[in-house]
Structure 1
Amino acid sequence: GISINDGEIEVKVLESVEEYRQEAESQHICLFSAAYDQREDSLIFSARIDGRIIETIEVDLKTLKVVQSRGVCNQNTEYHDRIINLINANTHLIKERITA
């Protein structure tokens, strides 16, 4: 249930297998076929503008660092640095959920 917003970009956690599948199909990435939903030490976010997926982000739960953030076909977008900065500025929200 983590959601982060900077006024334009909303970054939210993918919460179901169906959301993983939809994200993977929309972005043409291996998120679903590589079973990222089963990785215990990863948290996957979807960055969106007006509901449109911009990038998919993987955060390592042990280090709370962004492992990767990619747009369609694993390409960086013009929002790439902004998305990573948004995640990095809000890692305390992830840490709060882990310790809760």
Structure 2
Amino acid sequence: MDMLEVRGKSKKNVTACILLTPDVKSAINVLVETRSSSLVSVPRDNPYLFSRLNALTPLSGSRAMHELVRECPGLQRPERITTTLLRKYIATVSQVIIP
């Protein structure tokens, strides 16, 4: 396994460590190798792995999730679907599944 250290989005200079399995590392390498192809055309000076086309700013996962939730008309409580609550739910379920 490899460890990747990433900077948090807050201004507190907090870093997080992510463990990468070999299959995830190879998938990330494919993303990096194809980002400059004519099909993708991510600018070379864009430092973000999950970057936006024609922009040098990062992709906001919480904003993307919020937009997707708005596109689901049948939800009874759409305000409850947030990245924070999803993270907490995944942590809880992981503790139940993995003893």
**TM-score bucket of the superposed structures, by smaller chain:** under 0.3
**Higher RCO structure, 1 or 2 (CA under 8 Å, sep 6+):** 1
TM-score, length-scaled by structure 2: 0.24
Q: Which has the larger share of strand?
A: 1
| TM-score, scaled relative to structure 1 | 0.24
